[in-house]
């Protein structure tokens, strides 16, 4: 058969994931000559052989990719065959890194786990085992290209055996940049809180501390975890007290899915997500025995955040707790041991990453420190999600998913966006890709502000982008907006503020690549409105760069301003004062300290601005139910209200929609003020609100003729609400879109800001071309 030569230019996740050795092995097996090498845009392959050989190669390319590889695009071109080409080779990388992509961190693969627990293997019980199919990537890399010299593995010179694996295309560790072994790689160390090394095996010493009901600070991939025995109430209570985290749910790590089934309901889809290479924390419905087994893990909340081990060190901790069992079968058996595995930080601070920082900031929380000498380059917390209609519902997107880009329907100018105040992220738009950073957190601490600045700069460096504009929230006094103003001046590029809820809805539009006019329901806690008001329950119409506020929900007073958001009983009194008519103040509110002052404040209107926030409505109803008079963490009241709710019929006539698109919830509020059972209040609230919102959106669709509807904002993380609302919207003929790839809360806000900013730039370019 005649010889042909084919060039393939491939983009996607094809560097640092074993793609080149896979190509080398596949080409060798097919009897092809040619070469493969990394380029600044991805991977280029040239193949020479018969058409049947080339067909066989392409079939394997489609069906047998390495676990972490992903092909986004592939361009093919025929070349003239080369005479006397001998064999297939892997060539050195070439070109700049303009389109290269850095892989995300990935959980330890089955092949490495088999080696980890094989006494005959030279990496037996080595806590830093990895290969091209697993291990750290993003969190150890300073810059591209993704070479060992650009990672925190640079100080660890490969021993002869590891170097042979690293240089051999037949090896699973060919160019696995973080590869190492006990002879040449990082090492564990156990110290006390003053940094003094403790004698003996570090893992065994850490296990002994945990058995005593104490806690350890354990260094992970993107930061430290605080660890204690999740089944020991005294240990959990002590950790809560020392960490200043009185009520917020704590994440739990279990050995495997069978272990999780002992205390949580686990669907097949949830089991699959628990075991994915990204290893997110998955929110799972509690079983009745969960609170007896782990009474202080998620008090008053219906779900527990659960994850499975994803680093060798975490696997080894279970191995140690089980008495170092022989063989591999123990990994599949149910295990009663579970750990609290919570981010190592004090309240309001970012997660700790360095050994020195850990000792300085955690020495009053952790009893010992399980450390190692491989530096964490990039701070990256655990990702958190739940499943809604078998689709992911992110609460926090970070480790395992970042820095993988989101595809966009169209390209355009490169843009940087810096989020808002809560759950901050940064986004870089490059061509038709959106790079959304890991969760940075709330900007109420100087260290978090520093973390945002470092994260945004690191994202620009990794993508090679020089932004043409910078976007931020409309709120001018938040740190993210101030940083955007500063960088705008320094770089000499436009600053484009974007209204908060416009950005929320635009993030969903960008994710799904929607075109044309779209309706939006922004169901949120707070965002500065274009009129200077506190918005959060808005009906909007969007197209391109424009966003029109069509309507809003019934305003409520905010007695005390921000204080009302922290104390739901205040919101409940404000609701009663505004909407109750002649109804008496409910008894659960009548004996609150400070009530007389609050009532005078409501009468005079002093420091009582109005808000249309859906989140504050949830707070008011929770305060009315008496389940959360004061919040110890954001959205505690809403989460506890959601946990109480059960399906029920909506209140007939519980809402009205005016000709000006005001969604009036006062009939529902007056009914709830007459109930005394918290469960009845929570259930009727959720059921009626779902029908009210569906009616509101359906009327707007009928009026405008627009059938596309996007939902976004923090309240769209309420699965009880979504479970009732989404079917009603679809039954009304609406095409409904929600966030899947990013959180619906402020964690997705920077994508919406960047997308709107790009639309404004494109619109400006089009207008100047016409003038």
CATH number (domain holding residue 463): 3.30.420.360
User: Residues 732, 750: one domain?
Assistant: no
CATH number (domain holding residue 703): 3.30.420.40
Catalytic residue among 5, 11, 13, 38: 38
Q: Is residue 150 part of a domain?
A: no
Q: Is residue 118 part of a domain?
A: no
Structure tokens at 39: 């380029």
Q: Which of 330, 357, 331 is nearest to 346 (CA)?
A: 357
Any idea which residue has 């993988």 for tokens?
404
Paired residues of 282 in beta bridges = 306, 385
User: Residues 723, 751: one domain?
Assistant: no
Q: Which of 471, 548, 549, 543 is nearest to 514 (CA)?
A: 543
User: Residues 530, 657: one domain?
Assistant: yes
User: Residues 570, 636: one domain?
Assistant: yes
pLDDT digits (tens, 9 = 90+) for 464-496: 999 999 999 999 999 999 999 999 999 999 999
* The last residue of a domain, from among 32, 58, 90: 90
Residue 582: the pLDDT is 87
Measured CA to CA, the distance from residue 542 to residue 450 in angstroms comes to 34
Residues 462 and 436: beta-carbon distance below 8 Å = no
Q: Which of 498, 503, 505 is nearest to 708 (CA)?
A: 505
CATH number (domain holding residue 22): 3.30.70.100
Measured CA to CA, the distance from residue 685 to residue 654 in angstroms comes to 10
- According to DSSP, the β-strands at 188-192 and 368-372 are antiparallel
Residue 92: the pLDDT is 79
Measured CA to CA, the distance from residue 721 to residue 694 in angstroms comes to 11
Residue 641: the pLDDT is 97
Structure tokens at 674: 């007459």
User: Residues 537, 654: one domain?
Assistant: yes
Catalytic residue among 5, 11, 13, 20: 20
**Phi–psi pair at 89, nearest 5 degrees:** -130, 160
Q: Which domain holds residue 478?
A: 405-498+746-769
- According to DSSP, the β-strands at 252-254 and 224-229 are unpaired
Residue 40: the pLDDT is 76
Q: Sign of the CA dihedral 430, 434, 438, 442?
A: positive
User: Residues 555, 690: one domain?
Assistant: yes
Q: Is residue 53 part of a domain?
A: yes
User: Residues 261, 343: one domain?
Assistant: yes
Q: Which of 45, 56, 34, 35 is nearest to 10 (CA)?
A: 45
Residue 525: the pLDDT is 96
Domain count, the chain: 4
Measured CA to CA, the distance from residue 747 to residue 396 in angstroms comes to 7
Q: Is residue 389 part of a domain?
A: no
**Phi–psi pair at 179, nearest 5 degrees:** -65, 150
User: Residues 526, 486: one domain?
Assistant: no
Tell me the pTM: 0.95
C-alpha distance across the termini of the chain, in Å: 60
Q: Is residue 219 part of a domain?
A: yes
User: Residues 270, 415: one domain?
Assistant: no
Residue 201: the pLDDT is 97
Q: Is residue 298 part of a domain?
A: yes
Measured CA to CA, the distance from residue 425 to residue 746 in angstroms comes to 8
* The last residue of a domain, from among 22, 55, 90: 90
- Per the annotation, the verdict on 256 as an active-site residue is no
- Per the annotation, the verdict on 331 as an active-site residue is no
User: Residues 378, 476: one domain?
Assistant: no
* The last residue of a domain, from among 90, 110, 136: 90
Residues 470 and 493: beta-carbon distance below 8 Å = yes
Cα-based angle 56, 62, 64 (whole degrees, multiple of 5): 90
User: Residues 365, 435: one domain?
Assistant: no
C-alpha R_g of the chain: 28
* Maximum alpha-carbon separation in the chain: 96
Measured CA to CA, the distance from residue 17 to residue 34 in angstroms comes to 21
Question: At 765, which helix (H) or strand (E)?
Answer: helix 749-770
* Helix/strand/coil for 312: helix
Measured CA to CA, the distance from residue 598 to residue 69 in angstroms comes to 59
Q: Is residue 695 part of a domain?
A: yes
User: Residues 355, 431: one domain?
Assistant: no
Residue 770: the pLDDT is 35
Q: Is residue 687 part of a domain?
A: yes
DSSP state of 197: B
* Ranges of the chain whose pLDDT falls below 50: 768-771
């Amino acid at each position: 058969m005649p010889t042909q030569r084919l060039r393939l230019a491939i983009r996607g996740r094809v560097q640092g994931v074993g793609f080149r050795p896979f190509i080398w092995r596949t080409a060798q097996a097919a009897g092809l000559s040619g070469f493969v090498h990394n380029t600044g845009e991805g991977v280029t392959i040239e193949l020479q052989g018969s058409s049947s050989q080339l067909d066989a190669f392409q079939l394997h390319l489609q069906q047998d990719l390495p676990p972490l590889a992903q092909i986004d695009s592939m361009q093919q071109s025929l070349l003239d065959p080369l005479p006397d080409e001998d064999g297939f080779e892997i060539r050195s990388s070439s070109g700049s890194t303009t389109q290269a992509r850095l892989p995300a961190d990935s959980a330890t693969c089955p092949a490495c786990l088999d080696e980890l627990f094989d006494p005959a293997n030279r990496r037996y019980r080595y806590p830093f085992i990895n290969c091209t199919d697993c291990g750290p990537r993003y969190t150890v890399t300073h810059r591209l290209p993704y070479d060992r010299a650009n990672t925190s593995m640079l100080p660890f010179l490969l021993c002869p055996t590891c170097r042979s694996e690293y240089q051999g295309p037949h090896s699973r560790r060919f160019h696995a940049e973080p590869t190492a072994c006990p002879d040449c790689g990082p090492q564990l160390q156990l110290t006390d809180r003053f940094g003094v090394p403790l004698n003996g095996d570090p893992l065994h010493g850490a296990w002994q501390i945990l058995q005593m009901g104490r806690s350890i600070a354990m260094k992970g991939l993107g930061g430290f975890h605080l660890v204690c025995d999740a089944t020991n109430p005294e240990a959990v209570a002590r950790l809560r007290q020392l960490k200043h985290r009185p009520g917020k749910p704590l994440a739990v790590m279990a050995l495997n899915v069978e272990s999780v089934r002992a205390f949580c309901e686990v669907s097949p889809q949830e089991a699959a997500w628990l075991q994915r290479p990204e290893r997110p924390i998955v929110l799972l419905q509690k079983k009745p025995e969960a609170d007896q087994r782990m009474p202080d893990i998620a008090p008053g909340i219906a779900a527990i955040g659960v994850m499975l081990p994803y680093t060798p060190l975490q696997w080894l901790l279970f191995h140690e707790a089980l008495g170092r069992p022989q063989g591999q079968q123990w990994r599949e058996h149910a295990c009663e041991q579970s750990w609290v595995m919570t981010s190592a930080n004090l309240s309001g601070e970012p997660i700790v990453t360095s050994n020195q920082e850990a000792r300085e900031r955690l020495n009053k929380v952790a009893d010992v420190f399980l450390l190692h000498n491989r530096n964490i380059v990039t701070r990256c917390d655990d990702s958190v999600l739940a499943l809604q209609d078998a689709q992911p519902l992110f609460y926090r997107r970070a480790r395992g998913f970042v820095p993988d880009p989101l595809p966009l329907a169209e390209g355009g100018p490169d843009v940087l966006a810096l989020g808002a105040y809560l759950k901050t992220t940064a986004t870089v738009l490059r061509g038709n890709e959106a790079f959304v950073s890991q969760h940075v957190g709330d900007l109420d601490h100087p260290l978090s502000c520093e973390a945002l600045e470092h994260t945004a700069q690191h994202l620009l460096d990794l993508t090679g982008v020089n932004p043409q504009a910078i976007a931020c929230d409309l709120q001018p006094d938040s740190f993210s907006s101030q940083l955007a103003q500063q960088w705008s001046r320094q770089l000499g590029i436009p600053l484009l503020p974007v209204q908060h809820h416009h950005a929320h809805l635009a993030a969903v539009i960008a994710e799904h690549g929607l075109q044309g006019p779209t309706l939006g329901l922004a169901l949120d806690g707070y965002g500065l409105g274009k009129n200077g008001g506190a918005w959060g329950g808005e009906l909007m119409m969007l197209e391109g760069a424009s966003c029109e506020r069509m309507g809003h929900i019934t305003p409520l007073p905010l007695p005390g301003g921000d204080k009302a958001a922290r104390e739901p009983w205040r919101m409940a009194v404000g609701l009663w004062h505004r909407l109750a008519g002649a109804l008496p103040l409910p008894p659960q509110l009548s004996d609150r300290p400070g009530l007389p002052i609050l009532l005078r404040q409501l009468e005079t209107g002093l420091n009582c601005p109005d808000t249309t926030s859906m989140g504050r409505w949830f707070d008011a109803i929770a305060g009315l139910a008496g389940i959360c008079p004061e919040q110890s963490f954001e959205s505690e009241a809403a989460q506890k209200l959601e946990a109480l709710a059960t399906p029920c019929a909506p209140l007939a006539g519980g809402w009205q929609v005016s000709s000006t698109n005001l969604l009036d919830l006062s009939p529902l509020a007056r009914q709830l003020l007459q109930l005394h059972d918290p469960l009845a209040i929570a259930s009727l609230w959720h059921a009626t609100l779902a029908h009210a919102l569906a009616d509101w959106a359906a009327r707007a669709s009928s009026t405008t003729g627009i059938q596309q509807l996007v939902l976004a904002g923090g309240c769209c993380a309420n699965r009880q609400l979504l479970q009732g609302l989404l079917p009603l919207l679809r039954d009304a003929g609406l095409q409904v879109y929600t966030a899947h790839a990013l959180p619906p809360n402020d964690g997705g806000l920077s994508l919406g800001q960047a997308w709107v900013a790009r639309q404004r730039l494109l619109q400006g370019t089009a207008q100047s071309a016409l003038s």
